[in-house]
Protein backbone atom coordinates (compact mmCIF):
# COMPACT_ATOMS: atom_id res chain seq x y z
CA UNK A 1 0.00 0.00 0.00
CA UNK A 2 2.97 2.31 0.55
CA UNK A 3 3.70 2.19 -3.18
CA UNK A 4 0.29 3.36 -4.35
CA UNK A 5 0.54 6.09 -7.03
CA UNK A 6 -0.14 9.74 -6.28
CA UNK A 7 -2.66 11.78 -8.29
CA UNK A 8 0.25 13.31 -10.18
CA UNK A 9 1.57 9.86 -11.07
CA UNK A 10 -1.87 8.76 -12.22
CA UNK A 11 -2.11 11.82 -14.45
CA UNK A 12 1.30 10.94 -15.89
CA UNK A 13 0.12 7.38 -16.59
CA UNK A 14 -2.89 8.76 -18.48
CA UNK A 15 -0.57 11.01 -20.49
CA UNK A 16 1.62 8.03 -21.35
CA UNK A 17 -1.48 6.07 -22.32
CA UNK A 18 -2.41 8.79 -24.78
CA UNK A 19 1.08 8.81 -26.30
CA UNK A 20 1.27 5.03 -26.53
CA UNK A 21 -1.96 4.71 -28.45
CA UNK A 22 -0.74 2.95 -31.57
CA UNK A 23 -1.95 4.05 -34.96
CA UNK A 24 -1.49 0.49 -36.20
CA UNK A 25 -3.96 -0.82 -33.65
CA UNK A 26 -7.14 -2.17 -35.14
CA UNK A 27 -10.34 -0.20 -34.57
CA UNK A 28 -11.87 -3.17 -32.76
CA UNK A 29 -8.89 -3.46 -30.40
CA UNK A 30 -8.99 0.26 -29.56
CA UNK A 31 -12.72 0.13 -28.91
CA UNK A 32 -12.41 -2.92 -26.68
CA UNK A 33 -9.59 -1.29 -24.68
CA UNK A 34 -11.57 1.93 -24.34
CA UNK A 35 -14.64 -0.02 -23.27
CA UNK A 36 -12.66 -1.67 -20.47
CA UNK A 37 -11.08 1.62 -19.36
CA UNK A 38 -14.47 3.32 -19.49
CA UNK A 39 -16.09 0.59 -17.40
CA UNK A 40 -13.38 0.90 -14.75
CA UNK A 41 -13.75 4.69 -14.71
CA UNK A 42 -17.54 4.38 -14.42
CA UNK A 43 -17.28 2.06 -11.41
CA UNK A 44 -14.65 4.30 -9.81
CA UNK A 45 -16.96 7.29 -10.17
CA UNK A 46 -19.77 5.33 -8.52
CA UNK A 47 -17.46 4.64 -5.57
CA UNK A 48 -16.66 8.37 -5.35
CA UNK A 49 -20.40 9.10 -5.41
CA UNK A 50 -20.92 6.77 -2.46
CA UNK A 51 -18.18 8.54 -0.49
CA UNK A 52 -19.34 12.05 -1.43
CA UNK A 53 -22.99 11.27 -0.77
CA UNK A 54 -22.27 9.95 2.70
CA UNK A 55 -20.05 12.95 3.44
CA UNK A 56 -22.91 15.26 2.46
CA UNK A 57 -25.25 13.42 4.81
CA UNK A 58 -22.71 13.64 7.66
CA UNK A 59 -22.23 17.38 7.10
CA UNK A 60 -25.98 17.91 7.51
CA UNK A 61 -25.67 16.84 11.14
CA UNK A 62 -22.25 18.26 11.95
CA UNK A 63 -21.18 21.66 13.17
CA UNK A 64 -18.02 23.21 11.77
CA UNK A 65 -16.60 23.27 15.29
CA UNK A 66 -16.67 19.47 15.51
CA UNK A 67 -13.13 18.09 15.76
CA UNK A 68 -13.76 15.69 12.85
CA UNK A 69 -15.12 18.38 10.51
CA UNK A 70 -11.70 19.36 9.10
CA UNK A 71 -10.69 15.73 8.56
CA UNK A 72 -13.91 15.01 6.70
CA UNK A 73 -13.36 18.08 4.56
CA UNK A 74 -9.92 16.68 3.71
CA UNK A 75 -11.60 13.45 2.58
CA UNK A 76 -13.93 15.53 0.41
CA UNK A 77 -10.90 17.21 -1.19
CA UNK A 78 -9.51 13.76 -2.00
CA UNK A 79 -12.81 12.87 -3.65
CA UNK A 80 -12.49 16.01 -5.77
CA UNK A 81 -8.96 14.92 -6.70
CA UNK A 82 -10.32 11.54 -7.78
CA UNK A 83 -12.94 13.25 -9.93
CA UNK A 84 -10.24 15.22 -11.76
CA UNK A 85 -8.42 11.98 -12.54
CA UNK A 86 -11.52 10.33 -13.98
CA UNK A 87 -12.27 13.48 -16.00
CA UNK A 88 -8.85 13.25 -17.61
CA UNK A 89 -9.39 9.55 -18.27
CA UNK A 90 -12.77 10.13 -19.89
CA UNK A 91 -11.41 13.03 -21.92
CA UNK A 92 -8.88 10.53 -23.27
CA UNK A 93 -11.81 8.32 -24.25
CA UNK A 94 -13.40 11.32 -25.97
CA UNK A 95 -16.39 11.20 -23.65
CA UNK A 96 -16.09 14.69 -22.14
CA UNK A 97 -17.85 16.07 -19.09
CA UNK A 98 -21.02 18.16 -19.02
CA UNK A 99 -20.81 21.12 -16.66
CA UNK A 100 -23.86 23.39 -16.43
CA UNK A 101 -22.75 27.01 -16.18
CA UNK A 102 -24.77 28.35 -13.27
CA UNK A 103 -23.88 31.48 -11.32
CA UNK A 104 -25.52 32.79 -8.17
CA UNK A 105 -25.21 35.89 -6.02
CA UNK A 106 -24.99 35.90 -2.24
CA UNK A 107 -28.22 35.40 -0.33
CA UNK A 108 -29.32 38.79 1.06
CA UNK A 109 -28.85 38.90 4.83
CA UNK A 110 -32.45 39.99 5.34
CA UNK A 111 -33.65 36.74 3.79
CA UNK A 112 -31.72 34.40 6.08
CA UNK A 113 -34.36 34.32 8.85
CA UNK A 114 -37.13 33.81 6.34
CA UNK A 115 -35.13 31.04 4.71
CA UNK A 116 -34.71 29.24 8.04
CA UNK A 117 -38.42 29.44 8.81
CA UNK A 118 -39.36 27.95 5.45
CA UNK A 119 -37.15 24.90 5.77
CA UNK A 120 -38.89 21.93 7.34
CA UNK A 121 -38.21 21.48 11.05
CA UNK A 122 -36.92 18.00 10.31
CA UNK A 123 -34.09 19.44 8.19
CA UNK A 124 -31.00 20.14 10.27
CA UNK A 125 -30.11 23.83 10.56
CA UNK A 126 -26.51 22.95 9.67
CA UNK A 127 -27.56 23.59 6.06
CA UNK A 128 -27.43 27.28 6.91
CA UNK A 129 -24.52 27.24 9.40
CA UNK A 130 -22.25 25.31 7.08
CA UNK A 131 -23.43 27.13 3.96
CA UNK A 132 -24.35 23.70 2.69
CA UNK A 133 -26.87 24.96 0.19
CA UNK A 134 -26.85 26.74 -3.16
CA UNK A 135 -25.42 30.24 -2.48
CA UNK A 136 -27.51 32.30 -4.82
CA UNK A 137 -30.27 34.75 -5.31
CA UNK A 138 -32.44 31.81 -6.40
CA UNK A 139 -31.54 29.82 -3.30
CA UNK A 140 -34.60 30.95 -1.36
CA UNK A 141 -36.91 29.69 -4.11
CA UNK A 142 -34.98 26.42 -4.28
CA UNK A 143 -35.33 25.72 -0.58
CA UNK A 144 -38.97 26.79 -0.48
CA UNK A 145 -39.76 24.51 -3.41
CA UNK A 146 -37.78 21.48 -2.28
CA UNK A 147 -38.12 21.58 1.49
CA UNK A 148 -41.76 22.58 1.70
CA UNK A 149 -44.49 20.60 -0.01
CA UNK A 150 -44.69 16.90 -0.79
CA UNK A 151 -42.81 16.02 -3.96
CA UNK A 152 -42.23 12.50 -5.23
CA UNK A 153 -39.12 11.53 -7.18
CA UNK A 154 -38.44 8.34 -9.13
CA UNK A 155 -34.71 7.57 -8.86
CA UNK A 156 -33.33 5.23 -11.52
CA UNK A 157 -29.82 3.77 -11.20
CA UNK A 158 -28.41 0.25 -11.57
CA UNK A 159 -25.89 0.72 -8.74
CA UNK A 160 -27.23 -0.27 -5.29
CA UNK A 161 -24.82 2.05 -3.47
CA UNK A 162 -25.94 5.06 -5.53
CA UNK A 163 -29.58 4.16 -4.94
CA UNK A 164 -28.99 3.88 -1.18
CA UNK A 165 -27.09 7.14 -0.67
CA UNK A 166 -29.21 9.06 -3.19
CA UNK A 167 -32.42 7.94 -1.50
CA UNK A 168 -31.12 9.10 1.87
CA UNK A 169 -30.10 12.49 0.46
CA UNK A 170 -33.49 12.99 -1.15
CA UNK A 171 -35.41 11.89 1.92
CA UNK A 172 -33.50 14.42 4.02
CA UNK A 173 -35.15 17.12 1.91
CA UNK A 174 -38.60 15.74 2.72
CA UNK A 175 -39.04 14.18 -0.72
CA UNK A 176 -40.77 10.83 -1.13
CA UNK A 177 -38.50 8.51 -3.13
CA UNK A 178 -39.39 5.61 -5.40
CA UNK A 179 -36.40 3.63 -6.67
CA UNK A 180 -35.81 1.53 -9.78
CA UNK A 181 -32.61 -0.35 -10.63
CA UNK A 182 -33.22 -0.61 -14.37
CA UNK A 183 -34.85 1.28 -17.18
CA UNK A 184 -37.48 -1.41 -17.61
CA UNK A 185 -38.36 -1.35 -13.92
CA UNK A 186 -38.64 2.45 -14.07
CA UNK A 187 -41.01 2.11 -17.01
CA UNK A 188 -43.17 -0.40 -15.14
CA UNK A 189 -43.39 1.92 -12.13
CA UNK A 190 -44.03 5.04 -14.20
CA UNK A 191 -46.88 3.45 -16.18
CA UNK A 192 -48.69 2.81 -12.90
CA UNK A 193 -47.73 5.86 -10.82
CA UNK A 194 -46.69 8.67 -13.20
CA UNK A 195 -49.47 11.00 -12.02
CA UNK A 196 -47.94 11.21 -8.54
CA UNK A 197 -44.29 11.37 -9.66
CA UNK A 198 -43.08 14.99 -9.94
CA UNK A 199 -39.73 14.24 -11.56
CA UNK A 200 -37.27 11.47 -12.44
CA UNK A 201 -33.55 11.25 -11.62
CA UNK A 202 -32.16 9.07 -14.39
CA UNK A 203 -28.72 7.48 -14.70
CA UNK A 204 -27.35 7.60 -18.24
CA UNK A 205 -25.20 4.47 -18.19
CA UNK A 206 -27.20 1.34 -17.38
CA UNK A 207 -27.22 -2.21 -18.75
CA UNK A 208 -30.15 -3.07 -20.95
CA UNK A 209 -32.20 0.08 -21.53
CA UNK A 210 -29.87 3.06 -21.06
CA UNK A 211 -30.87 6.46 -19.75
CA UNK A 212 -31.70 8.04 -23.11
CA UNK A 213 -33.79 5.06 -24.22
CA UNK A 214 -35.57 5.03 -20.87
CA UNK A 215 -36.30 8.76 -21.14
CA UNK A 216 -37.97 8.39 -24.52
CA UNK A 217 -40.13 5.52 -23.28
CA UNK A 218 -41.15 7.49 -20.17
CA UNK A 219 -41.97 10.53 -22.29
CA UNK A 220 -44.42 8.46 -24.32
CA UNK A 221 -46.37 8.01 -21.09
CA UNK A 222 -46.05 11.65 -19.98
CA UNK A 223 -44.91 14.24 -22.57
CA UNK A 224 -44.50 16.79 -19.72
CA UNK A 225 -42.04 14.63 -17.78
CA UNK A 226 -39.29 16.40 -15.79
CA UNK A 227 -35.92 14.62 -15.71
CA UNK A 228 -32.58 15.15 -14.00
CA UNK A 229 -30.01 13.10 -15.94
CA UNK A 230 -27.08 11.81 -13.88
CA UNK A 231 -23.69 10.46 -14.88
CA UNK A 232 -20.04 10.52 -13.88
CA UNK A 233 -19.08 11.57 -17.39
CA UNK A 234 -20.28 11.61 -20.97
CA UNK A 235 -21.33 14.89 -22.47
CA UNK A 236 -24.05 13.26 -24.50
CA UNK A 237 -25.39 15.16 -27.51
CA UNK A 238 -28.78 13.52 -27.00
CA UNK A 239 -28.89 14.84 -23.43
CA UNK A 240 -27.91 18.33 -24.61
CA UNK A 241 -30.77 18.29 -27.11
CA UNK A 242 -33.26 17.15 -24.45
CA UNK A 243 -32.11 19.86 -22.03
CA UNK A 244 -32.55 22.52 -24.71
CA UNK A 245 -36.20 21.47 -24.98
CA UNK A 246 -36.68 22.49 -21.33
CA UNK A 247 -37.96 20.60 -18.26
CA UNK A 248 -34.71 18.64 -17.90
CA UNK A 249 -31.18 19.14 -16.55
CA UNK A 250 -27.96 17.24 -15.83
CA UNK A 251 -25.97 16.57 -12.66
CA UNK A 252 -22.46 15.12 -12.68
CA UNK A 253 -21.53 12.35 -10.27
CA UNK A 254 -20.26 12.54 -7.63
CA UNK A 255 -22.53 15.37 -6.57
CA UNK A 256 -22.87 17.13 -3.23
CA UNK A 257 -26.08 17.71 -1.31
CA UNK A 258 -26.34 21.37 -2.31
CA UNK A 259 -25.83 20.53 -5.99
CA UNK A 260 -28.63 17.97 -5.88
CA UNK A 261 -30.92 20.40 -4.06
CA UNK A 262 -30.12 23.14 -6.54
CA UNK A 263 -30.93 21.04 -9.60
CA UNK A 264 -34.12 19.58 -8.13
CA UNK A 265 -35.32 23.06 -7.22
CA UNK A 266 -34.60 24.36 -10.74
CA UNK A 267 -36.45 21.49 -12.40
CA UNK A 268 -39.49 21.72 -10.11
CA UNK A 269 -39.69 25.41 -11.03
CA UNK A 270 -39.80 24.60 -14.76
Does domain 109-269 fall under CATH 3.40.50.2300? My reply is yes
Handedness of CA 34, 80, 255, 141 (dihedral sign): negative
- What pLDDT shows up at residue 66? 86
Q: What is the DSSP letter of 108?
A: P
- Axis-axis angle for helices 257-269, 160-171 (nearest 10): 70
CB count in 10 Å sphere of residue 49: 24
Give DSSP secondary structure letters for 207-246. Answer: SSS-HHHHHHHHHHH-TT--EEEEESS---HHHHHHHHTS
- What pLDDT shows up at residue 5? 59
Low-confidence ranges of the chain (pLDDT < 50): 1-2, 95-143
Residue 197's φ and ψ, nearest 5 degrees, are: -95, 120
Domain boundaries, the chain: 7-92, 109-269
Look at residues 137, 134, 162, 131 and name the one whose alpha carbon lies nearest to residue 146: 134
What angle is formed at CA 231 by the lines to CA 96 and CA 210, rounded to 5 degrees? 105
Please say whether the beta carbons of 97 and 91 come within 8 A.
yes
Length of the chain in residues, anyone? 270
- What pLDDT shows up at residue 105? 39
Amino acid sequence: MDNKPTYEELEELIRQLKESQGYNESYEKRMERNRIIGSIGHEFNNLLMGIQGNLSLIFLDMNQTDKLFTKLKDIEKNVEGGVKITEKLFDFLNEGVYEPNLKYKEIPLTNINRLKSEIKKTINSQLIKNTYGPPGIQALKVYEKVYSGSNTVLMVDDDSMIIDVGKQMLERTGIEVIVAKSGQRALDIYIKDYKKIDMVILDLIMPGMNGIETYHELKKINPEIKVLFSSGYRKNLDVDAIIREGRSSFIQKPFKMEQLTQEIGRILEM
